[in-house]
Structure formats: structure tokens, C-alpha cells
Amino acid sequence: MNVTPFQISRRRFVKSAAILGALAGLPHWFVDEGLSARAAEPVPRSANDKPGIGLIGCGGQGRGDCNWAKNFGQVIAVADVDENHAQEARKQFAAEQHYTDFRKLLERDDIHVIINGTPDHWHTLVNVAAVRAGKDIYTEKPLTLTVDEGRRLVREVRHHQRVLQVGSQQRSDGRFRLACELVRNGRIGKLQHMIVGLPTGPREGPFTKQPVPAHLNWDYYNGQAPDWDYNGHNTHWNFRWWYCYSGGQMTDWGAHHNDIAQWGNGTELSGPTHFDGQSLVDMIPGGYDAAARYRIECRYANGVTMSLLDENTGSDRSVVGDRQKTPNGVQFLGSDGWVFVNRGEIKASRPEIIEEPLPANAVRLYKSDNHMANFFECVRSRKDPICTAEIGHRSISVAHLGAISVRLGRPIRWDPLHEEILEDREAARMIRRPMRRPYDWSFIA
């Protein structure tokens, strides 16, 4: 089923880019560029111009995304396997209907855009089904549960010519774009090393079986994961601490910061060739099993190395903090200086690295000041959004491969061109996982 792209008019931002830039702590020259460009934001011109929006996954993150998206369209229907979440979302967005099976929502011709806020292990099946139904998608990160899922999804998006925006919203934050542009233009000399600091995950348990709440379809929620008991700590927010559903902070925050590291290194469509990971603490039997503390050392074909560390693990190469802990953010270390960036600040080894304007012939990166607005504008124009399926797939592949190395406790070699683990059959099998029936690929056939 093909959906004709709706038409969206354009208007200028109401708030001053200069004010927003000052609040963000960006240099004046960078703010002035944004002010002169006056990036336009798409909004509906009339009721007929509003795309129909369907929300799948009505937890806090999904509803937050949908609350953002409703500025650009009309929420028609919502879906969730938790009846309470579905009803709450239907009321919040004044939607016409709620479903407990997302496939029914996808059958509606009046829905053009899907907001996917499901748990990680459902992202790919929902996204592939939506693509096949002719929908454009704004999907939460991490994009996939496995590397193999990412390869499949990229193929589907290309084949069906859909617009898919991964919710890696840091790409639409001027601080991160500026940091990557500075690195790409040699402001810190030759890039040598990157340090990605991620939150430390929880280490809790053991947990025991509990009665399944009447409003939750536990079998459907569990989906492709192995059949196991509900324990009150393996749904909703806490799903991310279980490896069968996610990968802990390594995939949760890692999807954000790995993306920025790859962007600054110019490898957002590739990835490292070597991973050497280790878990730094034993997880509690019967409790959360996604690694909570870890160290992963990576190397790229261009010679750049990268450390992925939880915040309670220090690095003797760190340029920020006391080296006993790694701050949440991305550090770029070069032959002539360094740049550090996170959601609160950007700073460098010398003020002029940031304060001196880039020359007219400098490498400039995709500019977006509003991640959701960028998505809806691309739905209208049919251009690529700032974080495509392939970019999201490549950045989360870094985390997936790091997690494989950590779980095996040994280095692995990766071929980013053919997307294969080399000379290690056990590791190579782990880029995909068995899917419990009926929640396998046949579920959306």
C-alpha cells in the first residue's frame, strides 16, 4: 500500500535563534550562522494538510515523542499491549481508537506516520511492518536488538522508499554538530582517540515470579524473547536492563554517544574493525543481566581508537574530570588538542578551537535544529532525515558488537563492509538471535 505524502506549509521559528544559541553556550559566530539561515519549521496549513499519526508503544517515551509529533499532525490511533497505557494515551491525545495489536493500527489508510515507542526488542518488527504498510516512521533508539535486524531494516526502508528517522536527537543539537564539525575540519589536529562515557547500569536482583497484571498481555509483551516468568522488574522502564530485550546503558545511551563519535570520525556509515570488551563486575544471578560496568576498546581502519566506558570506570587518557571516572559525553582527542561535548556543554583544550569561525570552505554537516520537525519536513520533501535507518543501524552496531565482546570476554574482529565477525564462529552467530514463535518474522508477513 502506497501512501501519498501530504503537503505541509512552512513558517519561520518564532523564537530567536540567537537567544537559543546563547542559552546553549555556543560561540557567537555559530549562533549568527543559525540566525542568518533562519531554519524553517514545517506546520500544517489546514486540517487537510495534517498527516494522520499512529502511536505504537504508549509508555512514557512513546507518549513524550507523540506529544512532540502532534504539533505536526493529528493523532488518530494508539496501540499498546498494556491496556492501561493504551487507554491513557488515547485519552491524552484524543485519539479515535486504541488497539492492543499494532498490526490492526497499521491497516488504517488514514494513518501516514508511525511513532514507535515500543521496548527495544519490538522496534524492528514494528518498523518493518510499518514500512511494508507504506508508513513513514519516527522510531525510538536503539534502532534494533541485533546487528542482523539492522541489516534487514535498512533493506526494507530502501526497497519501500520510506522516511525513517531514528530518535538520536543529539544530532539536532547544535553543540554536538559543532563538535563534530570542529573535529572533521582538523581543529584538534589529527583525530587519534575518542572516549565515550555512558551511565553505569543497575546491578540488582534476584527477582522472583509475580502474578501478571490483568491489563498486560505478557506473552505479547515478551515477544521474540525466550519464554520466561513475569517478575515485576522485566517490563516498561526496566526492560532495558535485560539482555533478551536490550543491552543496558551500553545500547541505551550508547546509541546516542556512539552516533556522535561516529559522526565526528566520519565513519557513520561504517564502524570499528576491532572490539576488545570486558565486564568489570559480575551481575547477580536471577537479576538484571545486561552488563552494568564495562570497558570496551575499539579500533577503526583509519587508525582512530575509541574507549567505551561506564561513568564509574576511569581512563588515563581522559581530558575531562579526575580520570577516576568518565563523564557522560564524548571526548575527541587529537594531535593538537581536544574537544568534549555532552548535552550541557561543549569545551576544548584552547578557547580558540571553538571561538574561531570555520572558514568558508570548511566541511559542514547536516543541519537540523529540531529533530521531530526535521522528520516531518522530510516526510513532505521525501529527502533523507538527519538520522536515517543506516546511520542508526551503524551506530547501534558498535554497541551490539561491544556487548558481544563483553559477554564472550574476548576480542572480536569486524568487517564493516560486509558486516561480518571474522574468524570466530561463536561470536558470528551472535549478530542474530533465535526468535520465539509466533513473534518471529512470520508475525508481520
Q: What is the pLDDT of residues 151-182, one digit of tens each?
A: 999 999 999 999 999 999 999 999 999 999 99
pTM score over 0.75 = yes
Query: Average pLDDT, stretch 347-354?
Result: 97
The letter for the amino acid at 66 is C
How large a percentage of the chain has pLDDT more than 90?
89
Q: At what angle do helices 389-408 and 254-265 cross, to 10 degrees?
A: 110
**Does the structure show a pLDDT above 80 at 130?**
yes
Q: Where are the domains of the chain?
A: 9-171, 173-362+389-444
| Half-sphere exposure in the Cβ direction for 250 (13 Å, CA) | 33
Contact 64, 110 (CB under 8 A): no
Report the alpha-carbon distance of residue 36 to residue 234 in Å, rounded: 49
Q: Dump pLDDT digits (tens) for 355-411.
A: 999 999 999 999 999 999 999 999 999 999 999 999 999 999 999 999 999 999 999
Where residue 24 falls among pLDDT bands split at 50, 70, 90? low
383 C-beta neighbours (distance < 10 Å), count: 10
Q: Dump pLDDT digits (tens) for 252-287.
A: 999 999 999 999 999 999 999 999 999 999 999 999
Q: Write the Ramachandran bin of 319: left for phi over 0, alpha for psi from -120 to 50, otherwise beta.
A: alpha
Question: What pLDDT does 20 receive?
Answer: 54
Report the alpha-carbon distance of residue 292 to residue 251 in Å, rounded: 11
Task: Return the C-alpha cell found at 316.
Answer: 588515563
**For the structural domain made of 173-362+389-444, what CATH number should be given?**
3.30.360.10
Instruction: Provide the CA 5 distance to its chain's centre, in angstroms.
Output: 25
Query: Average pLDDT, stretch 213-242?
Result: 98
Mean pLDDT of the chain: 93
Q: Dump pLDDT digits (tens) for 83-98.
A: 999 999 999 999 999 9
**Beta-strand relationship, 97-99 and 74-79:** parallel
Q: Which CATH class, in words, describes the domain spanning 9-171?
A: alpha beta
